[in-house]
Amino acid sequence: MKENKYEFSYEVFNDISELNEKDAWLLSEARSVTKDAYAPYSNFQVGAVAILANGEVVAGTNQENASYPVGICAERVLLGSVATLHPNVPVETIAISYTSDGMKSDHPISPCGMCRQSLLEYETRLHKPIRLILSGQEGKVFVIKSAGLLLPFAFTNKELG
């Protein structure tokens, strides 16, 4: 038997003030757009804002539904908008933030499994890593070089032949 190890590095900043100007602006936008989320059931509002390779900025928020499984996460709303409004334009960086009526928004959250798969698919499709900036409304900020790092042993188009 052989044991393998999977690990990756990411940057940790104490707060938004330690980011460069462009990243701080993008995170501020993600924090702000959470107010546009439609989350009457979970009261967990997520905002995602991307800067694209062509310089355009696109935002997305989570959208819930009374038929609870039918809702869609902010990251997938964002990717759908990018693919529709700017076909074949790579995403450079996505900042993701949240607010919640039930907990303090003082630490980074990570995309759910379905969103991780969608982010990886977009990276694979356009042959470009998507850099992630993750944070709450305050506190620490994580910067991850590629969304694909969050999904080891991913199911990809290679498995489909």
For residue 47, the SS3 value is strand
- Summarised one tens digit per residue, pLDDT across range 15-57 is 999 999 999 999 999 999 999 999 999 999 999 999 999 999 9
Range of the domain at 46: 30-153
Q: 8 lies in a domain?
A: no
C-alpha–C-alpha distance, residues 52 and 58, integer Å: 8
Q: Catalytic site residue 75?
A: yes
From 75, 92, 121, 138, the catalytic residue: 75
Q: What is the pLDDT of residues 104-124, one digit of tens each?
A: 999 999 999 999 999 999 999
**11 in any annotated domain:** no
CATH of the domain at 63: 3.40.140.10
What is the pLDDT at residue 159? 86
The C-alpha torsion from 34 through 60 and 113 to 80, rounded to 10°, is 170
* 97 is a domain residue: yes
User: Residue 22 phi/psi, 5° resolution?
Assistant: -65, -45
144 assigned to some structural domain: yes
If one counts the domains in the chain, the total is 1
User: Which pLDDT value is given to residue 144?
Assistant: 98
Return the residue matching tokens 């969608």. 118
